């Protein structure tokens, strides 16, 4: 099926039998298209690379291709108009040469990719702002080294998810403009050294997420107090990362923190002084330790406006430890099956209360028999399930 949207100058090519690289002529009269979506064309083995056909193209999305082997060989750099490329579910794609003016590249579930290359920067300005690589486990780091570093100088956002990319290639000093970094499900990472991989420390970094890295054992926490631009940090579900030892502090302007699911339970962590700039805090627990929220290893700053508590399986009370949070507006509690009480002093100030998988507490919030219905009636948004 071919669909053309004149308003957005977009072409959708979906589930066409017999479509291969030789059928570029179907685009010949559509040289004004700016967005091209190709999905489910299982006989497409190579992509059209002619600027005469795709001279106005700015966004290219290729979805669920079972036959595409390579894309962007010798003429890829000629597609000067293209800015956004998404390759999603290209299961046997082996190589991709990124056009020179691309600003965002996203590769999802392309497990056979062995070669990812970029044009050299001689005479070219670096344009790539956002790079997302998900589920591309066999990318050969040898083919990335020089070209990757040269082309990533302008990078502002880097997301690597379920991929085995060799981060040691990202030498210090290249990612000077990076503002967002996500490492999710990268089990090949064992440690992030004090010198970082080119992104730590970074004077521009505003958002840092490290999650589900099963073999990560160390993180350069000593540099966090020096990262004045860092406002959002998420370090969760890294079961071999020892957070509790010699943690020296947090970024001075931190606004949002999510942490937990690490090697040591929260009850064993050193007492933490969180910055007064913090407004959102999410804590992820475990099956051990914490019975009362007053026993956690954090001094919660009074600036908190949103608190989320996840997975404290033995937690019974939060009445103590929250009394001073007079700015709290949102309280979210998930998977705390033994929890039996709420901080009554704070409830009238809340604008939102979410309870999930907390059966004992939800029972007390029941409108007929519960302890809290009268107080809860003052909260604008209630969600129980």
pLDDT at 267: 67
Last residue of a domain, one of 238, 271, 304: 271
Average pLDDT, the chain: 77
Structure tokens at 152: 């990533």
Residue 181's nearest CA partner among 131, 240, 124 is 131
| The pLDDT value given to residue 7 | 47
Alpha-carbon torsion (52, 10, 58, 20), positive or negative: negative
Task: Indicate whether this model's pTM tops 0.75.
Answer: yes
Residue that finishes a domain, picked among 226, 251, 271? 271
pLDDT of residue 77: 45
Residue 15 region by backbone torsions, left for phi larger than 0, else alpha for psi between -120 and 50, else beta: left
Residue 196 pLDDT class (50, 70, 90 cuts): low
Question: Taking the alpha carbons of 266, 317, 232, 133 in that order, is the dihedral positive or negative?
Answer: positive
DSSP state of 335: S
pLDDT for 304-319, tens place per residue? 999 999 988 888 888 7
* Domain total of the chain: 2
Domain boundary among 243, 271, 299: 271
Give the whole-angstrom CA distance, residue 23 versus residue 336.
58
pLDDT category, 51, cuts 50, 70, 90?
Answer: low
Same domain for 31 and 177, yes or no, is: yes
pLDDT over 80 (residue 215): yes
What is the rounded distance in angstroms from the CA atom of residue 205 to the CA atom of residue 229?
Answer: 6
Which pair of tokens denotes residue 143?
């083919």
Same structural domain for residues 202 and 339? no
What pLDDT does residue 278 have? Answer: 93
| 1 band by pLDDT with thresholds 50, 70 and 90 | very low
Q: Which domain holds residue 294?
A: 272-385
Buried b (16+ CB within 10 A) or exposed e, 98-135: bbbbbebbbbbebeebebbbbbebeeeeeebbbbbbbb
Instruction: For residue 105, report the phi and psi dihedrals to the nearest 5 degrees.
Output: -125, 125
Q: How far apart are CA 201 and CA 198, in angstroms?
A: 7
Residues 183 and 71 grouped into a single domain: yes
143: left (phi over 0), alpha (psi -120 to 50) or beta: alpha
Look at the chain and count its residues.
385
Task: Evaluate if residue 44 carries a pLDDT over 70.
Answer: yes
Question: Do residues 144 and 131 both lie within one domain?
Answer: yes
């Amino acid at each position: 099926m071919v669909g053309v949207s004149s308003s957005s100058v977009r072409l959708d090519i979906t589930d066409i039998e017999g479509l291969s690289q030789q059928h570029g002529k179907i685009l010949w009269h559509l040289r004004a298209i700016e967005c091209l979506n190709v999905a489910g064309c299982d006989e497409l083995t190579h992509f059209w690379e002619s600027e005469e056909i795709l001279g106005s193209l700015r966004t290219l999305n290729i979805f669920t291709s079972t036959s595409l082997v390579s894309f962007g060989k010798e003429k890829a750099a000629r597609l000067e108009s293209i800015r956004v490329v998404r390759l999603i579910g290209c299961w046997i794609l082996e190589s991709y040469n990124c056009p020179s003016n691309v600003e965002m590249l996203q590769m999802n579930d392309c497990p056979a990719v062995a070669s990812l290359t970029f044009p050299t920067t001689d005479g070219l300005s670096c344009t790539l702002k956002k790079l997302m690589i998900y589920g591309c486990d066999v990318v050969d780091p040898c083919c990335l080294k020089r070209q990757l570093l040269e082309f990533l100088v302008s990078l502002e956002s880097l997301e690597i998810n379920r991929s085995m990319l060799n981060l040691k290639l990202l030498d210090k000093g290249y990612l000077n403009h990076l503002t967002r970094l996500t490492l999710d499900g990268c089990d090949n990472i064992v440690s992030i050294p004090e010198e970082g991989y080119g992104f730590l420390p970074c004077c521009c970094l505003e958002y840092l997420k490290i999650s589900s890295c099963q073999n990560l054992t160390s993180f350069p926490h000593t540099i966090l107090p020096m990262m004045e631009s860092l406002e959002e940090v998420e370090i969760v579900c890294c079961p071999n990362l020892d957070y509790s030892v010699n943690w020296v502090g947090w970024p001075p302007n931190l606004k949002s923190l999510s942490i937990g699911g690490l090697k040591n339970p929260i009850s064993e962590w050193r007492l933490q002084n969180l910055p007064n700039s913090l407004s959102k805090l999410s804590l992820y627990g475990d099956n051990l330790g914490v019975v009362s929220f007053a026993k956690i290893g954090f001094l919660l700053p009074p600036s908190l406006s949103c608190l989320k508590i996840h997975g404290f399986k033995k937690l019974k009370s939060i009445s103590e430890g929250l009394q001073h949070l007079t700015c709290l507006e949102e309280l979210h509690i998930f998977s705390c099956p033994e929890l039996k009480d709420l901080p009554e002093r704070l409830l009238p100030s809340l604008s939102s209360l979410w309870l999930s998988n907390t059966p004992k507490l939800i029972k007390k919030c029941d409108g007929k028999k519960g302890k809290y219905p009268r107080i809860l009636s003052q909260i604008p948004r209630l969600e129980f399930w």
